[in-house]
Structure 1
Amino acid sequence: MTAPAQPAAPPPASPARALLPLVLPALVIGVGSSLLLTGVSEAADLLKDVLWDTLPHAIGVGPWSVAWMLAVLTATGVAVGLVVWKVHGHAGPDPATTGLVDAPLPPGVVPGLLLATGISLAGGVSLGPENPITAANIALAFWLGRRFMPACPAQVWVGLGGAGTVGALFGTPVAAVLILTETIAAAPRPAPGAAPGERPPSLWDQLFAPLVAAGAGGVTSRLLDAPVFGLPLPPFEGPHWPDLIAAFVISAAAAALALTAVCAFPYVHRVFHLLPHPVLALTLGGVVLGLLGALGGKLTLFKGLEEIGELASDPGAYSAGALILMTVVKLAAVLVACGSGYRGGRIFPSVFAGVALGFAAAALVPAVHPAVAVTCGVLGVLLAVTRQGWVSLFTAAILAPDPGLLPLLCVALLPAWLLVSGRPQMQLDGAGVPLR
């Protein structure tokens, strides 16, 4: 006879004296992250108005003509290339090798990274601000944290900078907490002040300070300029069995289409990096992006957040073929932009691709509810591009915040995840090999 196994002791709670000192830094980092995001976005919008409104009207050129798209995007490539070439730090590492939350960059890299990002956002490049702004905020949080609280582990400042930025991007701390939950599950870290060998604290203790930073970032973002993600979709009355079938098919098809683009990513990256100079690679990328914009139309330019609102306001104005073309062009534009070296994130333009694909599915099969088609399209594309299940589910859910859709999305995630799991990611290592 053997004695019954004793149940494992629960993780010790972090004492308040270890958590309280992080409240003020978390608040400062969260507010600062939102202010930096807002400042870069506002500056980019001002330059965007000059490039796409003031200048073309001043010289009598149509702002959405093929000639003007080519001219602006080519000039954007030259400008970003000069920043990457000449500015200290070269605007950070190759964006093809970076994720959303990475190790801190040297603070001297931040000005060039933000300058390249602002030019790209204004010039119509199909990338969002999320990756470079998160990298900048993590770099600044780490630099300040190590100066004023050197005893805190580096992971604390990385978590606060990333959480504050994601909270500001979405206007809510939920997305930040979901991202950090995945990170912590992969590599739990000790609490600040924990003794060597002490068991990791509970999940909520680890999320305490990042939640403060994300909340501060989200509240500040909403006070300054509330981000709008909800789309004007018809109310969803369900789910019903046909909705479940449609969700399975659309999410899997969206994941498969986006996965095709992801698999092409290392080859696109290799072609552009055959050129011996970043100015040449980025200028060629600008030319290709201009041609893609001329093919797909003005909605396929820029990061995609405002464009999905315009598309959703009147999806009936576009045929299923036009919507599929927009989807393919947007995914191709993300490949070219990131592969040629533009600084930016892939989440927002991927959301546009998923929305366009969802509306195409609803146009092809009118019996499919638009809310089901759009949210499942976004879910499948984001799963393939980001390989982050929680973020993909959250982003799809906030586009149509209907309680009846959430269980449907949770089920629709499963076949799409089986399709993309273990496949190449849209991120390369230093040798140009896709991560898995």
Structure 2
Amino acid sequence: MTSTQPELAAPTARTLVLLSLPAVIIGVVSAFALWAVDEVAGLLEDGIWTALPHMLGVDPHSGWWIFLVLTFTGVAVGLVVWLVPGHAGPDSATTELVAAPLRPGIVPSLALAAVLALAGGVSLGPENPIIAINTSLLVALAARLWKAVPTQLVMLMAASGTIGALFGTPVAAALVFTGVVAAVKGGGALWDKLFLPLVAAAAGSLTMTFLAHPHFAIPMPAYTTITGWDLLASVVIGAIATGLGIVGAFLFPLIHRAFHALRHPLLMTMLGGVVLGLLGALGGPITLFKGLDQMGDLVQNRDDYPPGELALIIVVKLAALLIAASSSFRGGRVFPAVFIGAAIGVLAWALIPAIPLQVAVSAGVLGMTLAVTRDGWIALFIGVAVTSNLLVLPILCLAILPAWLMVTRAPEFLIKPAVRPTSPRAAGGAGR
């Protein structure tokens, strides 16, 4: 999940006990920060999409209002990236879910840019900005209060607490960091290294549950019996969703390069806002925002959407994700990917109603999330979480195998800075 793996020494039992309280505090603070960002964005969203249209006597679902709001959102975010100290940190398109902590001075501008994008209906989630905000602030705080705690460990606990709060369960953080921790040196049992991040994740998850009751699960018809056809359907749907995600990964750098050819941050986000406005007017309100609430609406009201409209929603949402991520908006790619995957599952069910809805949706979510995150654990977790049915887990464990083979040689859904070639003269100097 991060380009630089931290070196974690195997902790003793006494160390684990002593650091459990800081881990709990870090998890609670992480959840409160996420809740605060969500609340502020929610209040602003209500003002933009409910109170203001009501006061003006306009329909907030009309194409022209969606276009207007997203265009102005692009201008507002562009002004933050251009003029506000800190410039909203690095381009989210270039950052992974967990990255090195930023300077605390960058955090206010990043929070402002993220809140504006979330409230304005931009097709990005809160995960990248809020993890960056929490790791940056908590690393700086720990450097003053707990100087003996390694910076890398504080970063892992802050990221774990935030992921636990984002997904409403510490299991998500445990799965995400299993891959990270398994790769580091230092010896010791894996669960010794996972202990403190898991404490922080549990504290963050419980705190967020008390504050906001987050949930991924969508009410769907009961699914109680696995058939061979279900296994085949999950493999096919998962592969199709993965393939669509890979297409997006191929297009991502091209679109990113086109927007960044404008060079000026205000021009990038303003043009991005205009294109997002046009896409939103085409796809309707269901294609706006990070996609979590909209995913529930789409699945529960699936009979209202014919296959042609579902296909349009998928294309528009993927295009909106690519445009938003490429035009210097700050936000994460996981939540929109989950929506797209669920929409693929609903489309598969609409075309072949014999496929159980839980199988179709979970396989679609698995495939798209895997293509975007390149993390099998988180793809499996979210695929099960949207159904709240462990019966789909063995099905997804089969569906992920061909999907993983597809993504191993495909491009990442991430923009990496170009490596400048070293001149022969410089190389020669280095050799001497």
TM class, shorter-chain normalised? Answer: over 0.9
**Structure 2 match to 1:302:** 289
**Structure 2 match to 1:202:** 189
Quick check: 2:123–2:290 contact (8 Å CA) kept in 1? Answer: yes
Does the residue aligned with 2:65 lie in a helix, a strand or coil?
helix
**Structure 2 match to 1:431:** 418
Out of 72, 77, 80, the residue aligned to residue 77 of structure 2 is 80
Residue pairs, 1:151-230, within 5 angstroms: 151-188=148-185, 199-230=186-217
Quick check: 1:353–1:378 contact (8 Å CA) kept in 2? Answer: yes
**Structure 1 match to 2:355:** 368
**Structure 2 match to 1:377:** 364
Closer, same or farther: CA 201–344 of 1 in aligned 2, 3 Å: same
**Structure 1 match to 2:37:** 40
In structure 2, give the amino acid aligned to 1:58: M
The CA distance in 2 between the partners of 1:297 and 1:370, in whole Å, is 23
The CA distance in 1 between the partners of 2:284 and 2:398, in whole Å, is 34
1:260-279 per-position Cα deviation (integer Å, ceiling 9, x unaligned): 01110000000100113100
Does the residue aligned with 1:331 lie in a helix, a strand or coil?
helix
Matched, 1:55 2:52: yes
In structure 1, give the amino acid aligned to 2:209: R
In structure 1, give the amino acid aligned to 2:314: T
Matched, 1:105 2:102: yes
Matched, 1:316 2:313: no
How far 1:364 sits from its partner (Å)?
0.6
Matched, 1:18 2:5: no
How far 1:258 sits from its partner (Å)?
1.1
Matched, 1:137 2:124: no
**Structure 2 match to 1:334:** 321
Quick check: 2:10–2:187 contact (8 Å CA) kept in 1? Answer: no
Quick check: 1:266–1:432 contact (8 Å CA) kept in 2? Answer: no
The CA distance in 2 between the partners of 1:142 and 1:14, in whole Å, is 19
The CA distance in 2 between the partners of 1:330 and 1:363, in whole Å, is 18
1:167-187 per-position Cα deviation (integer Å, ceiling 9, x unaligned): 111111000011110111233
How far 1:236 sits from its partner (Å)?
0.9
How far 1:21 sits from its partner (Å)?
2.3
The CA distance in 2 between the partners of 1:239 and 1:212, in whole Å, is 35
In structure 2, give the amino acid aligned to 1:91: A
How far 1:13 sits from its partner (Å)?
6.7
1:365-407 per-position Cα deviation (integer Å, ceiling 9, x unaligned): 1111111100000000001011011001000101112232110
The CA distance in 1 between the partners of 2:209 and 2:58, in whole Å, is 37
1:130-187 per-position Cα deviation (integer Å, ceiling 9, x unaligned): 1100010010121112222333322101101100000111111000011110111233
Range with greater deviation from structure 2 (62-71 or 337-346): 62-71
Give the alignment's Cα RMSD to 1 decimal: 1.5
1:324-371 per-position Cα deviation (integer Å, ceiling 9, x unaligned): 111111111110001001110111111110111100001111111111
**Structure 1 match to 2:427:** none
Closer, same or farther: CA 422–146 of 1 in aligned 2, 3 Å: farther
Quick check: 2:61–2:285 contact (8 Å CA) kept in 1? Answer: yes
The CA distance in 1 between the partners of 2:46 and 2:181, in whole Å, is 41
Out of 333, 339, 351, the residue aligned to residue 338 of structure 2 is 351
Out of 363, 380, 398, the residue aligned to residue 393 of structure 1 is 380
How far 1:432 sits from its partner (Å)?
8.7
Closer, same or farther: CA 362–168 of 1 in aligned 2, 3 Å: same
How far 1:215 sits from its partner (Å)?
0.4
How far 1:294 sits from its partner (Å)?
1.1
Q: Which runs of 5+ in 2 are unaligned?
A: 1-8, 421-432
In structure 1, give the amino acid aligned to 2:299: A
Matched, 1:125 2:122: yes
The CA distance in 2 between the partners of 1:320 and 1:245, in whole Å, is 21
Closer, same or farther: CA 361–243 of 1 in aligned 2, 3 Å: same
In structure 1, give the amino acid aligned to 2:393: L
**Structure 1 match to 2:260:** 273
Does the residue aligned with 1:89 lie in a helix, a strand or coil?
coil
The CA distance in 2 between the partners of 1:397 and 1:356, in whole Å, is 16
The CA distance in 2 between the partners of 1:153 and 1:224, in whole Å, is 30
The CA distance in 2 between the partners of 1:94 and 1:14, in whole Å, is 35
Number of residue pairs aligned between Structure 1 and Structure 2: 413
Closer, same or farther: CA 47–424 of 1 in aligned 2, 3 Å: same
The CA distance in 2 between the partners of 1:52 and 1:380, in whole Å, is 32
The CA distance in 1 between the partners of 2:257 and 2:136, in whole Å, is 28
Does the residue aligned with 2:86 lie in a helix, a strand or coil?
helix
In structure 2, give the amino acid aligned to 1:167: G
In structure 1, give the amino acid aligned to 2:199: V
Quick check: 2:10–2:193 contact (8 Å CA) kept in 1? Answer: no
Out of 241, 259, 263, the residue aligned to residue 250 of structure 2 is 263
Residue pairs, 1:242-261, within 5 angstroms: 242-261=229-248
In structure 1, give the amino acid aligned to 2:105: G
Query: Structure 1 segments of 4 or more deviating over 4 A?
Result: none
**Structure 1 match to 2:6:** none
Q: TM (normalized to structure 1)? A: 0.92
1:229-272 per-position Cα deviation (integer Å, ceiling 9, x unaligned): 11111111221110011011000011001110111000000010
**Structure 2 match to 1:236:** 223
The CA distance in 2 between the partners of 1:414 and 1:138, in whole Å, is 33
1:19-72 per-position Cα deviation (integer Å, ceiling 9, x unaligned): 122111111110000000001101101100111111112112210111111110
How far 1:309 sits from its partner (Å)?
1.2
The CA distance in 2 between the partners of 1:159 and 1:424, in whole Å, is 26
Q: TM (normalized to structure 2)? A: 0.93
In structure 1, give the amino acid aligned to 2:381: F
**Structure 2 match to 1:7:** none
The CA distance in 2 between the partners of 1:431 and 1:151, in whole Å, is 37
Does the residue aligned with 1:229 lie in a helix, a strand or coil?
coil
